[in-house]
Amino acid sequence: MRSILCLTIISILFFSCDKNGEPLKNGNKLEIQKDGIRYVDEQSLILPPGAYDGPQLVYTPPTTGLFGDHKENVTLSSSLKLEGQKNSKSFTIIVYLPVTGGVLLNKKYEIAPENGKEIFQKGIDGDQSKIWDSSFIQYTENHNTYYFGTGHIVFTYFDNSGGLSNTKGEGTIVFSIPNESGGRSTFNGSFRIR
């Protein structure tokens, strides 16, 4: 019995990798081009319990009561790396979108920084708790400096019938942020979370 169990575990581990030893992917991914360079965040087929891997899409219904008031919203978050280089420097994006009555398909949800403030520095610019009052696109590389983008998100598919942790969606995201040289970095991408 032990040998069958051991053989089964070894088989699962062996067949859960591609020819380069990378974990097989399940198709959930966010791909984005930052100034023409492709970055990817893709979820592995087999994950240990509690492990984070891949982009996340969460729908939160409106609530009131004991735990406070929460606006109905959709949040897309992802930590992206250079395509094909899993150990490359990453950046994180969060798209927060308050909605009323659910997500409308093929609607261009325009997003701009609150009060035009595009750069937030932790420890210098105060508290970020107010950002959750309106929609935003947030970008960070170091979790000390946050850039708030101007752009839009479009959902071409959306299904929240699976509950908070099993929201499914597809669509596109386009935005820009200021960069260190005084210009703007542009981002064009797509996501698929099933």
Tokens of 192: 């698929």
Q: Quote the pLDDT of residue 110.
A: 98
Tokens of 86: 């899993």
CA–CA gap between residue 65 and residue 128 (Å, rounded): 24
CA–CA gap between residue 94 and residue 78 (Å, rounded): 7
Give residue-wise pLDDT tens across range 16-65.
Answer: 555 545 554 556 899 999 999 999 988 765 555 665 578 999 998 887 77
Q: Quote the pLDDT of residue 135.
A: 94
Residue 14 pLDDT > 50: no
Give residue-wise pLDDT tens across range 121-172.
Answer: 887 777 677 778 899 999 999 988 999 999 999 999 999 988 767 899 999 9
CA–CA gap between residue 34 and residue 154 (Å, rounded): 18
More confident residue, 185 or 44: 185
pTM: 0.82
Strand partners, 154: 108, 172
Q: Quote the pLDDT of residue 71.
A: 84
Tokens of 186: 């542009």
Residue 131 half-sphere exposure toward CB, CA atoms < 13 A: 23
